[in-house]
Each structure stands twice: as C-alpha cells, then as structure tokens.
Amino acid sequence: MDDNLIERRGNYEKLFSYQKAEAIYDITYYFCHKYLQRSDRTIDQMIQAARSGKQNIVEGSGFSATSREMEIKLVNVAKASLYELLCDYQDYLRTREHRQWEDGSVELEKMRELGRKHNNTDFYMELVKVRPPETIANMAICLIKQTDNLLYKQLKALERDFLKEGGFRERMTKMRIEKRKKDQ
C-alpha cells in the first residue's frame, strides 16, 4: 500500500481475461450476424451477454481505485454474463444436433492450446471466418471456459488484496488518523 488515497489501478487492457472477453465478443457478434436468422431474439441476447462479459471487466477496473467491492461484484457479473453466453452456444449446438467437443477430443485439446497461447481478437477472427458455425460455437465455448477460469483467478486475487489491504473506507480512515498524528 502506498501513501496515496487514490491508487493508480484499472489497466484492464493488459488483463488476459479482458483480452479473451474481447475476442469472445467479436466472435459472437460475427457468429450471430452470419449464422442466426435476423428475427431470432437470441442474436440480441448473445451479443449483449458477450458485451456484458467484456464491459463489466472494464467497469470493474474503473471502480478499482475507490471500491474493491464494486470491482469484485462487476468481475463476478462478467463471469455470470459469460455463463449465459456459454449456455446459448451449447443450446445452438444441441438444437441443431451438432456435436459439442468432448473432454479429451482432438479438437478441444487443440483449441485449449490455442487459447493458452493467444489472446488477440484478430487471431481468432481469422480462424472463425473460414470455419463452419458448429466449429465457431465450439471454439467460443472453449474460450468462454478459459475466460471463466481467468475471471475466477482474478476474483481470488481481488479477495486476497482486499483481505490484505482492506477497502477504500478503511484506507481513508487509516490515512486520516495518520495525518492527524503527524500534524500534532
């Protein structure tokens, strides 16, 4: 903890969770407009869930300087939004009788490896533009699960930071008490 009340925090663009969430949003936007019927309400739902996953990471990061509680809550909202999107992709595969990649399948293992190595949305967009919709849905499912894991780790780190350093109000009180002692 430094001597400043307002900490320099919030560099969300460097977070792997944000980078993956951005790729998921771009993939979902492309997928929905390319493969779902215009009248399908799922388009708006899926795009909004993907956007919420990404934007709540941004918003949580914005609150990080003054409210760890809001940061934690918003990262958790990002997780929940991506869960909703995960279910939509799984529904897409199930209702169209497409196979969801099983644990241990060659496709899933290759996608997991790609997901561990790449966070750049441009990389994934090149891949999805030459793949059928069932492959794109499976790719998105894998990336969502990886992002969920990253967000869980992020939440655990935020929890550790909160327990170690406290919240903004505790920091304000401590700094005010220290300032009074120093001024006397």
pLDDT, tens only, 78-116 = 999 999 999 999 999 999 999 999 999 999 999 999 999
Q: Which residue type occupies 149?
A: N
What 3 state SS string does 53-112 have? Answer: HHHHHHHHHHHCCCCHHHHHHHHHHHHHHHHHHHHHHHHHHHHCCCCCCCCCCHHHHHHH
Alpha carbon distance 18, 26 (integer Å): 12
| Inside any domain, residue 24 | yes
What the block records as the tokens of 23 is 């790729």
Q: Are 121 and 23 in contact (CB under 8 A)?
A: yes
* Residue 40 three-state SS: coil
What's the average model confidence in pLDDT over 25-48?
96
Q: Are 148 and 75 in contact (CB under 8 A)?
A: no
Work out the pLDDT band at 3, boundaries 50, 70, 90: low
| Inside any domain, residue 25 | yes
- Give the range of the structural domain holding residue 107, as residue numbers without chain letter: 12-183
| Inside any domain, residue 158 | yes
| Inside any domain, residue 3 | no
| Inside any domain, residue 5 | no
| Inside any domain, residue 2 | no
- pTM, entire model: 0.86
Alpha carbon distance 126, 92 (integer Å): 22
Which pLDDT tens digit goes with each residue over 50-83?
A: 999 999 999 998 877 777 888 999 999 999 999 9
| Inside any domain, residue 6 | no
Please tell me the total count of domains within the chain: 1
Supply angle C-alpha 86, 107, 141, rounded to 5.
5
Alpha carbon distance 146, 152 (integer Å): 10
